[in-house]
Chains A and B, each alone.
Chain A
Amino acid sequence: MLFTLKNIKYSTSERTILSVDSLNIEAGKHLLLLGQSGCGKTTLMNIMAGLLRPTDGDVVFQDTPYTGLSENKLDNLRSNNFGFVFQKIHLIGHLSIEQNIALAQPTKDQARINTLIEELALTAQKQQKARDLSVGEAQRVAIARAVANNPSVIFADEPTSALDDANTEKVMDLLFEQAEKTNATLIVATHDARIKGRFTNILEMTS
């Protein structure tokens, strides 16, 4: 099992944001977390990625429970196994495309970076600063960065929410394509129902 979640709760002092009794995710079975804003899908994804500690319950990733893992070990686990595509893209503006992609590699693999740049049609912009890219180009770089470390899981938070239909298709094609190439499991959190048809494994969340 890729992920096993049991009795996961995430609460603030004011309210409970997330409550999941049980969730199992198999490797290779891409998952769509679908729901309106505020339903807790990003929180769930952050908990699975080890970016948030649940208030209650435990996450087990490939037989490794997060409970008891030191912060450093959790950092290493993320670095070696996960890739991220953030909602706001979050490239580091003053770094070049190549440098942004290299950031995600625990050990620099220039051949892998070159392959990704070529596959994502970014060769011309290779040395360009991230802040000078168009939204579409930046999105492609974000995907390249997410797969640069050959992850087991690619987390994508609202990857298409700001895109038109054509670009949504392109981005999702790229994500699936790269997930296939790296044998990664895609976990996408979105409120965008346009991409619902691409997934067989869907978790609809409600507030």
Chain B
Amino acid sequence: MKDFALIMASLKSRWLNSLLSVFLTAFGVMLAILIVQFGQHVQSRLSTDGQNIDIVVGAKGSPLQLILSSVYHIDIPTGNIPYETAEKWMNHRQVKTAIPLALGDNWHGNRIVGTTPAYLAHYDASLGDGRLWSKPFEAISGASVNAPVGFEFAGAHGLMDGGHVHEEEKYKIVGTLKPTGTVLDRLILTSLDSVLHLHGHKGVEHEEGHTEHEHHEHEHHDEHKDHDDHSDHEGHEHHDDHEEHAHHDEHKDHDDHSDHEGHEHHDDHDDHAHHDEHKDHDDHSDHEGHEHHDDHDDHAQDAEITALLLTTKSPMANMNLPRMINRESALQAANPALEMVRLTSMLGLGSKTFGALSTLLIIIAALSIFTGLAGSLENRMGDLAVLRAIGYSKARLRKIILTEGMLIVTAGLLLGLVLGLYGFTVMAHSIAPLSASGAQAHITTEICWIIVAVLFAGILASLMPAIRASRVDVAKQLTKGN
């Protein structure tokens, strides 16, 4: 009788025990793979999305929330910051690049981000189709956003799907990005002014070929002449007012409004009220902000953005700038690298934790194989003694028991690999944060190490029963009976 047939018959005779060991191994491998895949996905997203961003500037609040919302686009922002104040830091001599971000709306869960082309350049993104936006309400879509060139849509308020839809202004996709493997893949990018205007703020950009909508924006720009190197009286006035945190003169020269209206506006809305209202507007799907926009289309508030992504010229600047920025009452500066270390340590996502947990699961799987083999061995000593008596060598018995163990390990390993990779694929499609961040199952070096570790653990777990089996006391077992 061939040894393999003997092994299969033995496993079949203990099918429940064998099956449990296979499932336990598979379960351990599956969990280890899920943990590794999840950890790698998180680490990969954290590193690629946060690549080279030294400082994030935003409204006061949780620094982690600021990073998550502005760099990874997986949380709601802490609030808005005045563009003028942000601009001061954008032009700071220690700042190398500055990317302003204005959030507030989404389309089918894909965030619409008002920004500048510098955002694309930061992630080395290139257009797969179409062109970059050249005027407000033109947008480009990330690779995983289902919006081709020419597609028109209205943004929904809030950062999650299901908010109030801004039917009054529709975006038009004029370009699509090639896949970047970064957060850009799931964003819709447009000009800052698109987002600002839609939420009742003045624009910050000068462009050619203005639409009627942009005309208003241009007029608002006039009020921001201090931003744009203009030096007329109104602009100066505005600048002074801004320094005093007063906005009541903003609409002084507005073509469509009388002074009276402007004053009315001032009377109704002080600066803080604007800020507070807008903050709610961005963070939630309430309609107040939206109404605000409808009511004040022609007398917009000062431009506000959600965050500013900065890269600095030197490591020293990374230390100094946050301190300087944090001194300003309305702003906070957060370091993405530090916050991510804090987050990963809080969630226990550190590589050591992953390693320890995976090792533990593999040990459990190995112990299950060991207990399965060792447990059944007690009942098989008589059989093994017979085999020894009729001429089976010790080495042959060792090989038989070892093969039994390794068959269980291999079956469990294969099942665990399939379940782990398939499970992660299912999770990547069904769990919103994973699907939004483009999670995909991959066979990685770590998985290869899991395979090696499980096989090694399987050999170790089978070796002791195999040695014990080969050392069976034949004469004693044969007289002892079954």
Q: Given A99-B1, A99-B9, are A49 and B391 also a contact pair (CB < 8 Å)? A: no
Contact mask for chain A residues 128-153; partner B; CB cutoff 8 A; 1 contact, 0 none:
00000000000000000100010000
A126 is an interface residue with CB less than 8 A from chain B: no
Q: Are the C-beta atoms of A103 and B390 separated by less than 8 Å?
A: yes
A108 is an interface residue with CB less than 8 A from chain B: yes
Rounded to whole angstroms, the CA-CA distance of A186 and B390 in the bound complex is: 16
B383 is an interface residue with CB less than 8 A from chain A: yes
Smallest distance from the beta carbon of B354 to chain A beta carbons, Å? Answer: 42
Contact mask for chain A residues 61-98; partner B; CB cutoff 8 A; 1 contact, 0 none:
00000000001100110111010101110101111000
Rounded to whole angstroms, the CA-CA distance of A76 and B383 in the bound complex is: 19
B residues within 8 A CB of A4? Answer: none
Rounded to whole angstroms, the CA-CA distance of A49 and B480 in the bound complex is: 18
Smallest distance from the beta carbon of B390 to chain A beta carbons, Å? Answer: 5
**Residue among A76, A90, A149 making CB contact with B386, cutoff 8 Å:** A90
Query: Interface extent on B, as a size class?
Result: 20 to 34
Q: Are the C-beta atoms of A71 and B482 separated by less than 8 Å?
A: no
Q: Are the C-beta atoms of B9 and A79 separated by less than 8 Å?
A: no
Which of B69-77, B85-93, B177-185, B471-479 sits within the interface?
A: B471-479
**Residue among A92, A106, A157 making CB contact with B391, cutoff 8 Å:** A106
B residues within 8 A CB of A99? Answer: 1, 5-6, 9
Smallest distance from the beta carbon of A141 to chain B beta carbons, Å? Answer: 12
A184 is an interface residue with CB less than 8 A from chain B: no
Q: Are the C-beta atoms of B391 and A78 separated by less than 8 Å?
A: yes
Rounded to whole angstroms, the CA-CA distance of A162 and B482 in the bound complex is: 15
Q: Are the C-beta atoms of A71 and B394 separated by less than 8 Å?
A: yes
A51 is an interface residue with CB less than 8 A from chain B: yes
B residues within 8 A CB of A121? Answer: none
**Residue among B386, B387, B389, B394 making CB contact with A49, cutoff 8 Å:** B389
Smallest distance from the beta carbon of A110 to chain B beta carbons, Å? Answer: 11
B residues within 8 A CB of A90? Answer: 382-383, 385-386, 478, 481-482
Q: Are the C-beta atoms of A102 and B9 separated by less than 8 Å?
A: no
A46 is an interface residue with CB less than 8 A from chain B: yes
Smallest distance from the beta carbon of B10 to chain A beta carbons, Å? Answer: 7
| Residue on A nearest B380 in the bound complex, by CB | A92
B393 is an interface residue with CB less than 8 A from chain A: yes
Q: Are the C-beta atoms of A46 and B391 separated by less than 8 Å?
A: no
Rounded to whole angstroms, the CA-CA distance of A76 and B393 in the bound complex is: 8
B329 is an interface residue with CB less than 8 A from chain A: no
A residues within 8 A CB of B4? Answer: none
Q: Given A88-B481, A94-B12, A99-B9, are A75 and B392 also a contact pair (CB < 8 Å)? A: yes
Q: Given A51-B474, A94-B13, are A75 and B386 also a contact pair (CB < 8 Å)? A: no
Q: Given A88-B478, A102-B1, are A78 and B393 also a contact pair (CB < 8 Å)? A: no
Q: Are the C-beta atoms of B475 and A52 separated by less than 8 Å?
A: yes
Rounded to whole angstroms, the CA-CA distance of A78 and B97 in the bound complex is: 85
Q: Given A71-B393, A80-B391, are A92 and B383 also a contact pair (CB < 8 Å)? A: yes
Q: Which of A36-61 contact B (CB under 8 A)?
A: 42-43, 46, 49, 51-52
Q: Are the C-beta atoms of B1 and A108 separated by less than 8 Å?
A: yes
A residues within 8 A CB of B392? Answer: 75, 79
| Residue on B nearest A91 in the bound complex, by CB | B386
A104 is an interface residue with CB less than 8 A from chain B: yes
**Residue among A43, A88, A103 making CB contact with B482, cutoff 8 Å:** A88
Q: A75-B388, A95-B6, A103-B387 are in contact. List 8 more A-B contacts (CB 8 A).
A: A43-B475, A78-B390, A87-B478, A88-B382, A90-B478, A99-B9, A103-B6, A108-B1
CB-based closest 4 A-B pairs? A79-B391, A94-B13, A88-B481, A102-B1
Residues of chain B whose beta carbon lies under 8 Å from any beta carbon of chain A:
1-2, 5-6, 9-10, 12-13, 382-383, 385-395, 474-475, 478-482
Can you list 22 residue pairs at the A/B interface with Cβ under 8 Å? A42-B475, A42-B479, A43-B475, A49-B389, A51-B388, A51-B478, A52-B475, A71-B394, A75-B388, A76-B393, A78-B389, A79-B391, A82-B391, A88-B382, A88-B482, A90-B382, A90-B385, A90-B386, A93-B383, A104-B391, A108-B1, A145-B390
